[in-house]
């Protein structure tokens, strides 16, 4: 007789907080294994904020049951960042006992009892777009509100295989090897730049001057050198068809912890410097430094020439310098 | 017998002529890596990166050697600004800004030189640390502390700009202040 309380397959909760739903939609494009295989033979998706048919208390009861009766038996996947302003009221999962159950409360309560906690997408992993300035809802990453390990699977959106691979690894073998940002090294072990098919163009300085050109995107702000992800080899669109650079546009570093604020402008090599009231580009800072240095040196040189100091130095130090004709000084008695 | 006073020892000169070209090579190749342009003397990114890689290790080793030599020979005292340097600063600045005509002679380095050399000596570790953080993946932990690779890139670029300024000012004064002192970095004697 089958005991219905003991699930035959691993359980998954897919919770949506402040999210655009892009990560879940991306996962639906997974192949080998696909979404259908995930829910029919690999695991049991007990709760999904986007695909679940139940509503209201029926949906919340599923979460209650998992939290109470399946401790350390489910994987909690959180998609989206966690708003903390007004005690988290900027994202409400549902109503519990007539009160709003915020995402902040939900991830803390469900996360405390989960076997593994996975942050799906850059928003959940690092704050992402919802935590970008001015961040009115005071959004933070999942790790910032939990005092346990979170496995980060960043991307905007995630590549379906990054999530599918991570979930399968957790189910089949346990926790994968993680880097310092708690990302699986399987997918985030190398920079996009080092895996890029157009690396040869980079090494030979054959650069695209604008999007749409079939060469290295470095000069138009490609963030490949500072982004760890395997997009160039794994590619996207289900059938490993393409990825941003292959589509002749720079990588915008969507899997980076700094995304998006630390990556903008996307078409510039370095981010802007934000000072009170103004934004300065990196190139402008460079130009300004050069101009100030040149003006300083130029002004001093002019002063040295006009006061006769430079001529004096030459006369004193050059062999045969005493024979040099020095122009009269501007100031009398200048020594 | 040479009665001239030795200004720079052989060791100091040797190290200077290792790290000076290394710094120049790093500046030019670094600027090319930041914004590829033939104006920086490179045609290919590959050669700029190789130059940057070789020069960074030359700089790292010569810098560490110079620190060790400075500690052993106690000549760091001639370079690092102290209270006397700060006291002498107003008079020095007055002369340099053409507000005074009296040129004061200093034992070896004037206050401006001391600050310039010390700031360069302080910028080099920043470049070494940020450069290594960008170069070696195992240093990702340090990168995380700085807020990610983009901020580290920025810091590296900003420190490079400051070095370009400092080196430019250094070159200007060495070429215009005293040719005898300039000669001493080649011959050792002023």
Of A269, A300, A318, which is closest to B179 when you measure between CB atoms?
A318
Specify the pLDDT at position A322. 64
Of B45, B98, B144, which is closest to A181 when you measure between CB atoms?
B144
| Per-residue tokens: B86 | 């700060």
Instruction: Report cis status (omega within 30 of 0) of the bond before B145.
Output: no
A140 forms beta bridges with: A82
| Chain A residues with CB-CB distance to B101 below 8 A | 331, 333-335
* Distance from the B34 Cα atom to the nearest Cα atom in chain A, whole angstroms: 8
| Secondary structure of residue A245 in the 3-state scheme | coil
State the virtual CA torsion across A54, A56, A61, A67 in degrees, nearest 10: 100
Which residues neighbour A143 within 8 Å (Cβ) at sequence distance 6 or greater?
A: A119, A125, A150, A152, A182
| Per-residue tokens: B63 | 């810098």
A290–B179 C-beta distance less than 8 A: no
How many Cα atoms are found within 13 Å in the side-chain-facing hemisphere of A53?
0
Of A180, A219, A293, which is closest to B140 when you measure between CB atoms?
A180
Q: State the SS3 of A125-192.
A: HHCHHHHCCCCCCCEECCHHHCCCCCEEECCCCCCHHHHHHHHHHHHHCCCCCECCCCCEHHHHCCEH
Specify the pLDDT at position A321. 64
DSSP state, A235? Answer: -
Specify the pLDDT at position A326. 61
A202–B178 C-beta distance less than 8 A: no
Distance between CA atoms of residues A152 and A162, nearest Å: 10
Distance between CA atoms of residues B177 and B175, nearest Å: 6
- The residue behind tokens 């070429």 is B175
Residue of chain B nearest A219, judged by CA positions:
B35
Whether B138 contacts chain A with CB within 8 A: no
Which residues neighbour A53 within 8 Å (Cβ) at sequence distance 6 or greater?
A: none
CA nearest A216: which of B118, B107, B36? B36
Specify the pLDDT at position A329. 56
Distance between CA atoms of residues B128 and B56, nearest Å: 8
| Per-residue tokens: A172 | 């089949």
| Per-residue tokens: A112 | 């405390």
Distance between CA atoms of residues A311 and A329, nearest Å: 10
List the 159-178 stretch of B: residues with Cβ below 8 A of A.
Answer: 161-162, 164-165, 168-169, 172, 176-178
Residue of chain A nearest B134, judged by CA positions:
A226
Residue A136: count other Cβ atoms within 10 Å of its Cβ.
Answer: 10
| Chain A residues with CB-CB distance to B154 below 8 A | 270-271, 273, 282
| Per-residue tokens: A242 | 């393409």
Specify the pLDDT at position B1. 47
* Distance from the B171 Cα atom to the nearest Cα atom in chain A, whole angstroms: 10
Tens-level pLDDT at each residue, chain A (335 residues): 445 556 678 999 999 999 999 999 999 999 989 999 999 999 999 999 999 998 899 999 999 999 999 999 999 999 999 999 999 999 999 999 889 999 999 999 999 999 999 999 999 999 999 999 999 999 999 999 999 999 999 999 999 999 999 999 999 999 999 999 999 999 999 999 999 999 999 999 999 999 999 999 999 999 999 999 999 999 998 788 999 999 999 999 999 999 999 998 999 999 888 888 888 889 899 999 999 999 999 999 999 999 988 888 888 877 776 666 665 555 544 44
Residue B5 CB burial class (10 angstroms; 0-12, 13-18, ≥19): exposed
A228 forms beta bridges with: A191
CA nearest A195: which of A230, A227, A162, A220? A230
Specify the pLDDT at position B73. 86
- Taking the alpha carbons of B127, B132, B134, B138 in that order, is the dihedral positive or negative? negative
A226–B45 C-beta distance less than 8 A: no
Whether B35 contacts chain A with CB within 8 A: yes
Task: Evaluate whether A104 touches A83 at the Cβ level (below 8 Å).
Answer: yes
Of A226, A257, A282, which is closest to B157 when you measure between CB atoms?
A282
DSSP state, A258? Answer: T
DSSP alpha helix (H) spans, A48-119? 56-69, 103-113
* Distance from the A331 Cα atom to the nearest Cα atom in chain B, whole angstroms: 10
Specify the pLDDT at position B37. 93
A282–B176 C-beta distance less than 8 A: no
| Secondary structure of residue A17 in the 3-state scheme | coil
| Chain A residues with CB-CB distance to B149 below 8 A | 225-227, 256, 258
Residue A26: count other Cβ atoms within 10 Å of its Cβ.
Answer: 23
What is the separation of C-alpha B61 from the centre of its chain, rounded to a whole number of angstroms? 14
List the 84-103 stretch of B: residues with Cβ below 8 A of A.
Answer: 96, 98, 101-103
Using alpha carbons only, how large is chain B's radius of gyration in Å? 19
Of A270, A273, A310, which is closest to B176 when you measure between CB atoms?
A310
Query: The pTM is what?
Result: 0.88
Specify the pLDDT at position A1. 45
* Distance from the B27 Cα atom to the nearest Cα atom in chain A, whole angstroms: 13
How many Cα atoms are found within 13 Å in the side-chain-facing hemisphere of B63?
21
- The residue behind tokens 């000084």 is A329
Of A180, A269, A290, which is closest to B144 when you measure between CB atoms?
A180
Residues of chain B scoring pLDDT < 70: 1-3
Specify the pLDDT at position A159. 97
Residue A164: count other Cβ atoms within 10 Å of its Cβ.
Answer: 23
* Distance from the B53 Cα atom to the nearest Cα atom in chain A, whole angstroms: 14
Distance between CA atoms of residues A321 and B17, nearest Å: 28
Of A179, A256, A304, which is closest to B148 when you measure between CB atoms?
A256
Specify the pLDDT at position A6. 61
């Amino acid at each position: 007789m089958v005991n219905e309380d003991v699930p035959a397959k691993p359980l998954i909760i897919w919770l949506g907080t402040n999210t655009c739903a892009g990560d879940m939609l991306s996962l639906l494009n997974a192949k080998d294994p696909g979404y259908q295989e995930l829910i029919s033979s690999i695991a049991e998706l007990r709760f999904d904020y986007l695909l679940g048919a139940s509503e209201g208390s029926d949906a919340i009861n599923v979460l209650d049951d998992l939290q109470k009766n399946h401790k350390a038996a489910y994987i909690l996947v959180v998609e989206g960042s966690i708003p903390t302003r007004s005690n988290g009221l900027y994202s409400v999962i549902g109503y519990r006992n007539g009160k709003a159950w915020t995402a902040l409360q939900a991830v803390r309560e469900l996360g405390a009892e989960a076997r593994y906690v996975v942050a799906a997408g850059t928003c959940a992993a690092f704050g992402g777009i919802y935590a970008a300035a001015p961040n009115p809802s005071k959004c933070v990453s999942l790790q910032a509100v939990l005092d346990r390990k979170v496995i980060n699977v960043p991307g905007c959106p995630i590549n379906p295989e990054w999530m599918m691979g991570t979930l399968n690894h957790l189910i089949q073998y346990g926790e994968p090897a993680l880097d310092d940002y708690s990302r699986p090294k399987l997918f985030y072990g190398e920079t996009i730049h080092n895996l890029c098919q157009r690396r040869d163009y980079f090494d030979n300085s054959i650069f695209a001057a604008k999007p749409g050109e079939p060469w290295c995107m470095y000069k138009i702000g490609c963030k490949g050198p500072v982004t760890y992800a395997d997009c160039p080899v794994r590619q996207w669109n289900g059938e490993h068809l393409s990825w941003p650079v292959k589509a002749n546009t720079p990588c915008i570093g969507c899997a980076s912890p700094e995304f998006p604020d630390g990556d903008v402008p996307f078409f510039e090599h370095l981010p802007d410097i934000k000072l009170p009231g103004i934004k300065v580009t990196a190139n402008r800072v460079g130009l300004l430094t050069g101009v100030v240095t040149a003006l300083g040196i130029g002004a001093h040189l002019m002063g040295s020439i006009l006061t006769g100091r430079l001529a004096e130095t030459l006369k004193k130090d050059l062999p045969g310098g005493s024979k040099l004709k020095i122009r009269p000084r501007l100031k009398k008695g200048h020594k | 017998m040479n009665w001239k006073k030795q200004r720079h020892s052989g060791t100091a000169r040797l190290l200077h002529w290792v790290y000076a070209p290394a710094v120049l090579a790093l500046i030019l190749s670094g600027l090319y890596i930041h914004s590829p342009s033939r104006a920086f003397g490179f045609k290919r990114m590959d050669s700029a990166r190789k130059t940057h890689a070789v020069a960074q290790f030359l700089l790292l080793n010569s810098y560490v050697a110079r620190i060790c030599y400075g500690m052993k020979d106690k000549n760091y005292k001639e370079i690092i600004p102290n209270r006397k340097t700060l006291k002498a600063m107003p008079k020095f600045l007055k002369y340099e800004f053409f507000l005074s005509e009296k040129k004061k002679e200093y034992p070896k380095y004037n206050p401006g030189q001391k600050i310039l050399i010390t700031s360069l000596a302080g910028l080099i570790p920043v470049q070494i640390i940020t450069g290594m953080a960008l170069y070696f993946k195992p240093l990702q932990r340090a990168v995380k502390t700085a807020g990610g690779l983009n901020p580290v890139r920025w810091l590296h670029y900003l420190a490079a700009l400051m070095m370009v300024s400092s080196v430019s000012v250094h070159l200007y004064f060495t070429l215009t202040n005293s040719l005898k002192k300039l000669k001493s970095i080649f011959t050792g004697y002023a």
